[in-house]
Amino acid sequence: MSNNGKRVAWVTGGGSGIGEAGAKALAADGWTVVVSGRRKDALDAVVATIGKSSGTAKAIPLDVSVAADVEKAAEEILAAYGRIDLLVSSAGINVPKRRWADMELEGWNKLVDINLNGVLYCMRAVLPAMRAQQDGAIINVASWAGRHVSKMPGPGYTTTKHAVLALTHSFNMDECVNGLRACCLSPGEVATPILQQRPVVPSEQEQAKMLQPEDLGRTIAFVASLPPRVCVNEILISPTWNRGFIQTPANRD
């Protein structure tokens, strides 16, 4: 193994939320981490934090909806470290206008471009290196909405996250013979900045009862720590106080 024996992880959406927490947890476990996202300042802050803890991290700004840029980012990682052992696809968005009554095609297309196409582009970009290694893992961050249909996330978000689940399972069907494995991580509500895009933003008290980013960071690091013979196909995880089960005004809107 190149990179002085250290495993290399590429985390998209690594500037905040689940991606940031995953990058920090992986770095704490000794991984070399590359974080990508659209905001360079946020990525640099994550890299600086990891560096203060004696971890190794690098930032590559990226919009995952641009296929050519995704390919270039993967090439940059391989040029720097010689391998990619793990991809964490955590880049994702939702839009405020998410009901059939007010949804716009621009918003739908944006969701598909980032939440679905961006995942596919990243998976395809790392595939040649992982096949050559005959080893590699992918963790695609989907959503509770990728397993259970509900009104609150809206049709665009729900559809793209269901598609990510299918994409993950189809990858395992084809690539298990090459020693590759993928996990679809489907969390319920997580207290991340994406909540600000909701028509009704949950209160601080409600967010305190949700999953926290570090909970998902630990989950990502756990899946990544398992030996190559183990494929965790899917993880469905939620807050104990699951507002999908407990109807409140905020999650009805």
Residues contacting residue 48 through CB under 8 Å, at least 6 positions apart: none
Residues marked active site are found at 157
Determine the Cα–Cα distance for residues 92 and 80; give it in Å rounded to an integer. Answer: 26
- State the pLDDT at residue 1: 44
Region 139-155: what's the mean pLDDT? 95
- In tens, the pLDDT along 184-236 reads 999 999 999 888 878 788 899 999 999 999 999 999 999 999 999 999 999 99
CA distances from 225 to 30, 73, 79, 126, 168 (A): 10, 24, 24, 19, 19
CA distances from 102 to 97, 99, 107, 199 (A): 6, 5, 10, 12
Name the token pair of 132: 């050559």
Class of domain 3-252: alpha beta
- In tens, the pLDDT along 27-81 reads 999 999 999 999 999 999 999 999 999 999 999 999 999 999 999 999 999 999 9
- State the pLDDT at residue 250: 53
- State the pLDDT at residue 191: 94
Phi-psi map region of 17: left, alpha, beta (phi>0 left; psi -120 to 50 alpha): left
- In tens, the pLDDT along 66-104 reads 999 999 999 999 999 999 999 999 999 999 999 999 999
Q: Please state the pTM of the whole predicted model.
A: 0.94
Q: How is the chain split into domains, by residue range? A: 3-252
